[in-house]
Amino acid sequence: MGNLVSSFANVLAADLQPGDAIGFTFFTGYMAMAAASIFFLVERGQVDGKWKTSLLISALITFIAAVHYYYMRDLYLETGQSPTEFRYIDWTLTVPLMCVEFYLLIKPYGGKVSTMWKLIGYSVLMLVTGYIGESLDKENTILWGVISTLGYLGIVYEATIGDVKKVALSSNNPEVANAVRLLRNFVIVGWAIYPIGYMCMEGNLLASTGWNLDLLYNIADAVNKIGFGLVVYSSAMSSTKAAAAAAIKA
């Protein structure tokens, strides 16, 4: 019993300290992801049927992240270590779901399932090699980072020039073309924060900056996961409103 009480006290003692910017982003990240999930789920009731799956996927992405942030936050506060394993489990689930968001946008206009699997394949390559370089084989962290970047560039290519872009353009639906373009911008700008974070690891190219990998990853996660969801949400809302206006006219 005494042990239990003292270990409980230890957990409480592992609290957020003033000035701990990294710890702060673990807390705000957790809460922001949880709040975004509720938002997307509730707003799902407002949009046309064909958008409901997209909003559900947005909610799943932030919900899966919220649960992982719950654990990552505790692990960080108790040990001061990077929660690398939780981080990569989270990404392995959420990044493929972000690929599904692309697919759902282009599917009504002839987007192929094989395009979705191509995107998912690139993300698996990116994340598996990133994990090896961040956790299992730190000696060769730069090499693994380079291989991982090839997977990342594959996704950038598909969304900028490849199949995703082609179908979005040929859709003749400005709403869809615009949503794909905005998501692509998140991939190019927002996702680029991750390799920068990775390069801040010991032994990597930006180690001397003293920037913190977790701080960068936490900021990037909030920007990208919630941002992706908001892009989909606003497209869904404006296309729902346009359809309603057209119905009134007719």
Ligand X SMILES: *C/C=C(C)/C=C/C=C(C)/C=C/C1=C(C)CCCC1(C)C
Q: Which residues bind ligand X (CB under 6 A)?
A: 91, 94-95, 98, 126-127, 130, 145, 148-149, 152, 191, 194-195, 198, 221, 224-225
Least distance to ligand X from the beta carbon of 156, Å?
10
When the beta carbons of 40 and 239 are compared against ligand X, the nearer one is 40
Least distance to ligand X from the beta carbon of 108, Å?
24
Angstrom distance (rounded) from CA 94 to CA 86: 12
When the beta carbons of 82 and 148 are compared against ligand X, the nearer one is 148
When the beta carbons of 158 and 221 are compared against ligand X, the nearer one is 221
**CB atoms closer than 10 angstroms to residue 116:** 22
When the beta carbons of 92 and 240 are compared against ligand X, the nearer one is 92
CA dihedral 183, 151, 217, 168 (to 10 degrees): 0
Least distance to ligand X from the beta carbon of 195, Å?
4
Least distance to ligand X from the beta carbon of 70, Å?
16
Question: Amino acid letter at 249?
Answer: K
Q: Give Cα separations from 202 to 35, 138, 195 (angstroms).
A: 34, 9, 14
When the beta carbons of 58 and 148 are compared against ligand X, the nearer one is 148
Q: Give Cα separations from 52 to 42, 69, 88, 213 (angstroms).
A: 11, 26, 28, 35
Least distance to ligand X from the beta carbon of 133, Å?
6
**CB atoms closer than 10 angstroms to residue 27:** 16
Angstrom distance (rounded) from CA 90 to CA 84: 10
Least distance to ligand X from the beta carbon of 175, Å?
23
Which one-letter DSSP state was computed for residue 162? Answer: S
Angstrom distance (rounded) from CA 33 to CA 62: 5
When the beta carbons of 23 and 154 are compared against ligand X, the nearer one is 154
Which position's Cβ is nearest ligand X? 130
Residue that the structure tokens 């692990």 belong to = 75
